[in-house]
Amino acid sequence: MLIVLLGPPAAGKGTQAERLSEYLGTPHISAGDILRRSIKDKTPLGNAALLYINKGEFVPDEIITAAIKERLAQKDCVEGALLDGFPRTIPQAEALRLPDKVIDIDVPRGVLLKRITGRRVCQSCNKVFHVDSMTGYGCDCGGNLYIREDDTEEVFAARADNYNRLTLPLKDYYAKLGRLTVVDGTGSKNEVFERILEVLENEH
């Protein structure tokens, strides 16, 4: 089963995809992780993508689509995958095979901004924290925490505007194809996870 998680920046797509991946035994493919790894390794993809990401802009369709298709072609994705952060535009969706289910995680803009500006990431293991729930100043693995360059109010505003302009049309696109379900993304991570599971279980 191919599942796509939609939602604005900081809606919790990555968090829920990781949990779903473990629960379903399906690979989690994060467009953001692929790009950040490429940037860290200074690959041609990473160098090209960095120019757009630091300005809060979407990476051009042809760059990210090629990377996602290459990942989906690997053996562990034969029976399905969870896509997080892709597709983000209708051309990307048209280049992808039709998902079995598209889940849109809906969160108000004010909640998203608070999540982003309070987010901290471990330099060693990439675990994500939030200042409101942190009990210390570092990660359990011993790594230091940092603020991602794109986790600022200014970049969030640009990303949110791009999302509204380019990605929101995907909701209508997938709704017309009978694949879209909207899930309330507020509340605890467990509450959101249970809502998503209910959607998936109702399909069987």
pTM of the model: 0.78
Residue for token pair 């200074």? 42
Instruction: Write out pLDDT tens, residues 130-156.
Output: 888 777 778 889 888 988 887 888 888
pLDDT tier, 46 (very low <50, low <70, confident <90, very high otherwise): confident
Q: What percent of the chain has pLDDT over 90?
A: 39
Contact 78, 156 (CB under 8 A): no
CA distances 24 to 21, 45, 67, Å, are 5, 30, 24
Residue for token pair 């901004």? 113
For residue 117, the model assigns a pLDDT of: 86
pLDDT tier, 193 (very low <50, low <70, confident <90, very high otherwise): very high
On the question of pLDDT at 204 being above 60, the answer is no
Give the closest residue to 148 by CA, choosing from 159, 136, 161. 159
Active site positions, annotated: 13, 88, 119, 148, 159
- Region 173-200: mean pLDDT is 95
